[in-house]
Structure 1
Amino acid sequence: MKLVDHVVQSFCVAKVFRENTDRINSIDFSANGETLISSSEDDSIVIYDCEKGTHKKTLNSKKYGVDLIHYTHAPNTAVHSSTKVDDTIRYLSLHDNKYIRYFPGHTKKVVTLCMSPVDDSFLSGSLDKSIRLWDLRSPGCQGVMHLTGRPVANFDPEGLIFAVGVNSQSVKLYDLRSYEKGPFNSFKLPQDKDCDWTGLKFSPDGKMILISTNGQVIHLIDAFQGKPLQTLMGHINNKGLPLEASFSPDSQFVFSGSTDGRIHVWSAKTGVKTAVLNCDHTGPVQCAQFNPKYMMLASACTNMAFWLPNIDEEM
């Protein structure tokens, strides 16, 4: 089955999990799409089996808190930022809930964290106005970039370049092999009134960059020239939350949560709203991601919802 408008519109909630007592702040699918990991303001890490649609495991991080959780390339390890004690990034074995390594360096809250799609490097960005490049095998940071404002950052799908968004108005592209020389390209975008950039993602085909904000707007720009392609609007974000927006695996659709508990879907090509998906989310939907391998969507408020297309309509 191909992801086209009427299939997207047919998506409905197949399962709701109520494992958490507080807001889920980040989610990440494993590369093979078989499991989903989440972190929550209640200091817990929950792992779900996407094939069976079951809760697999809950781990607690009561001492350090947990945010921005990401699988590494090994399916039984993850990295996450901390919400308590300090702003160290932690590398966790999910098998026995033990920390493998700590990555100290940031002096304020870490607001962006992403793994390279190809190797053990990862990027972090903090309110201390710095981006740090790391390698899972070494606790020392591989490189630091000092910026003039709050950063958002991510790798391209090939893991060869990374993009950094600074001050909610400019995007800089760096070659991973020579980032110390500075950006090889920079784009300046018109500044949004009343909102800040809170997330940056490349489309899976590498052609677009999606910039999410803590306001009522999501930007889609060309990944090569920085030309604005679409301004996605119509979802509600009246609480100033960093609502996640993400692509479908074919780069055709953009999904975002909203503070009214619904999922909004746009065509990346036209910017037209394709669907508004209703759920029994009890609060703002901060996380929304499409499974990289299976026809499945996950969204989270305090509860986690798994969405599937309604096949009956396809028959």
Structure 2
Amino acid sequence: MLNPLFIPLLFFFFFLCFEFCVVGTQMEREEKVSLELSEEILQSMEVGMSFKDYNCTISSMDFHKSSSYLVTASDDDSIRLYDITSGTCLKTINSKKYGVDLVCFTSHPTTVIYSSKNGWDESLRLLSLHDNKYLRYFKGHHDSSKCIFFPRVVSLSLCSRKDCFVSGSLDRTVLLWDQRAEKCQGLLHVQGRPAVSYDDQGLVFAIAFGGYIRMFDARMYEKGPFEIFSVGGDISDANVVKFSNDGRLILLTTADGHIHVLDSFRGTHLSTYNVTPVSCNSTLEASFSPDGMFAISGSGDGSIYAWSVRSGKEVTSWRSATSDTGPPVIKWAPGNLMFATGSSELSFWVPDLSKLGAYVGRK
């Protein structure tokens, strides 16, 4: 469904504008000033387009780094590929046999890695969306003797610069993988539910659990963490850990409804935002804006919040139309004035120009 405030051309414009304004001429520099993400622009954002044809909750989604594609995974065992410039669903692929939980793009815009959610097969799969073919299986998270639950993968992060990725499971292991090999390239044992993430350069990865974020050099991970950062006594289950695009900040969400932001170099605790806690079966997700100046997050009550990273203050909040389905999955589109939320429907949020009179026609 398309909000009449956001005709397709406007939707396409906002998809392009953040990247268009980055280069060199005087006019382009002036345009960057007029379109730079600000509190006013963030406060104006509304749902510009939504897809309501989901039968179940969206469990995961990912934007491709360099194309206009978005992929979603949902509890009806489907994977869907979208082109956000045209606002169309390009393909739906069902994974009824294995189920689907987490999904991430590889460097190729129609190839993904996804985790199972069927209760009997913990494998990760490399899937070509182009022809619906499995290119590789990754098996390793299977030590169910140490896990009272099915040892499903609860965290997955791909390195944007190399063909490697890292996965964390309820079996209390973190595995390092090369997309070209079926067997894992490294194994780390943890003492809790792990949240994992590569930084954008692929040189460092983080593992969060038990109230701490452990920083590893990807080239020497077997030597253990080179830094361990405390998150202020919050020992609830880690849900999501992420780096900002420039690698200077790191964000951690926990099941108790806390979103922590730290300096990734010094470990300095910069701020903590609080939302409604999530259930043990849900994940609290948050995301940095492309410039790292703002953080957005879902909440256990289905609301969406935005904060200024610099001041630590809440900038705005939105009550989702699907708030009864729990915390939405939330992702900011790389390099664009748009973020997406997923619950029982998929929504794209863009600025409403009618609320931004000072920006219209500004040169």
Normalising by structure 2, what TM-score? 0.83
- Given candidates 327, 333, 337, the residue that maps to 1:285 is 327
Query: Shift of the alpha carbon at 1:236?
Result: 2.5
Show the counterpart of 1:182: 224
Show the counterpart of 1:191: 233
Query: Shift of the alpha carbon at 1:58?
Result: 0.8
Pair 1:154-2:197 in alignment: yes
Pair 1:276-2:276 in alignment: no
1:100-141 per-residue CA deviation (whole Å, 9 max, x = no partner) reads 100001021111111002011000011111111001111011
Show the counterpart of 2:38: 4
Counterparts in 2 of 1:133 and 1:238: CA distance versus 1, 3 Å: closer
Show the counterpart of 1:69: 103
Show the counterpart of 2:48: 14
Query: Shift of the alpha carbon at 1:216?
Result: 2.0
Show the counterpart of 2:243: 202
Show the counterpart of 1:101: 136
Query: Shift of the alpha carbon at 1:146?
Result: 1.3
Would you identify which runs of 4 or more consecutive aligned residues in structure 1 move more than 4 Å? none
Pair 1:237-2:277 in alignment: yes
Q: Please, which runs of 5 or more residues in structure 1 have no aligned partner?
A: none
SS in 1 for 2:177: strand
Percent of aligned pairs with the same amino acid: 40
Q: Is the 8 A contact 1:13 1:279 kept in 2?
A: no
Cα RMSD of the aligned pairs, angstroms, is 1.4
Greater radius of gyration (CA): 2
SS in 2 for 1:177: coil
Greater shift, 132-141 or 25-34, is seen at: 25-34
**C-alpha distance in 1, partners of 2:129/2:262?**
36
Query: Shift of the alpha carbon at 1:44?
Result: 0.4
Show the counterpart of 1:306: 348
Q: Is the 8 A contact 2:209 2:237 kept in 1?
A: no
**C-alpha distance in 2, partners of 1:147/1:236?**
27
Bigger share in strand: 1
Amino acid at match of 2:42: V
- Given candidates 131, 148, 157, the residue that maps to 2:174 is 131
Bigger share in helix: 2
**C-alpha distance in 2, partners of 1:261/1:33?**
29
Q: Is the 8 A contact 2:257 2:300 kept in 1?
A: no
**C-alpha distance in 1, partners of 2:278/2:248?**
30
Q: Please, which runs of 5 or more residues in structure 2 have no aligned partner?
A: 1-34, 143-150
Amino acid at match of 2:200: P
- Given candidates 164, 167, 186, the residue that maps to 1:121 is 164
Pair 1:142-2:185 in alignment: yes
Amino acid at match of 1:236: T
SS in 2 for 1:141: coil
